[in-house]
Structure 1
Amino acid sequence: MLRWKTLVSRWKTFAIAALAGVAIVTGVWWAGPGILGLTAPAPGIVADATVTTPASCTGTNAMETVEFQQGGQSRTGNLDACGHDKGDRVQVTVPVDFGTGSGKVHLADVIQGHTDLRRPVGLALLALSCLGGGTYAFLVLRGPRREPALA
């Protein structure tokens, strides 16, 4: 009878830890990509650009000047990046409302066109950490195992 109560107590501990892990992973999934450090891609058009005026990364708010083609015309944009050399080719995201003059552009995602695995991998790692925490809680509550003494 005592063994049955111990077994039920262990399963309750495991069930609570498992439900807490499922709740955490579900909450993170519903919260969206921002909670794992991921952001939605900026709306705009991806274009190939050439760095015309590089910027050093030593200062704050470094801006490089890039030249790209949009609508068959050569355009100039201010890229919020640093460390490129003159003539480097980069992909930039041009805002839809760029206009005819110069404006601000951003670097496009480096793995554009491929499946973005950062979110599923982050969720899998979170689930594994919940499993590890639940296992640790189970082992702590179980206590040390006592081996029968040999006579």
Structure 2
Amino acid sequence: MVVPRSPARWALILLVTGLVGIAAAIALWWPGAPAGTRPASATVVEPASCGSADAYDRVEFELDGEVRTARLDGCGHQENEVVDIVLPADTGGEFTVQAAASAPAGMPLEIRLAATLLCLSGLAGGLYAHLLTRRSQPTAAVVAA
């Protein structure tokens, strides 16, 4: 004899499924810094006009106690202007820095949305499989004499 599932058990199953879905969505949508980057402040030492295709301002900043210069992926700043920048992971040799305001804040929206929808479809599939494997209470067969 199969014991029917109580409403409290169904509520628990739905609650756990919902909480796992919410946790997955929060984990995927939580903003994070791009891997291998670090913020810094820099001073523009050589501004560039934005009229040419190869217009990069030159900035000076301190890295590990040493004053370094690099190209800023931008133009039109004033000389001696302080700019917040993001340093790349590899700071050896010549490199280009980005303004902190224009640096990406984490995973692109398309990847986050796709991962969230994948998690939710997996949860929905799991719940559907759970519903399919559920045994209904056997009905009494009427025997005609």
TM-score range, shorter chain: 0.3 to 0.5
Structure with the greater alpha carbon radius of gyration = 2
TM-score (norm: length of structure 2): 0.42
- What is the TM-score when the length of structure 1 is the normalising length? 0.41
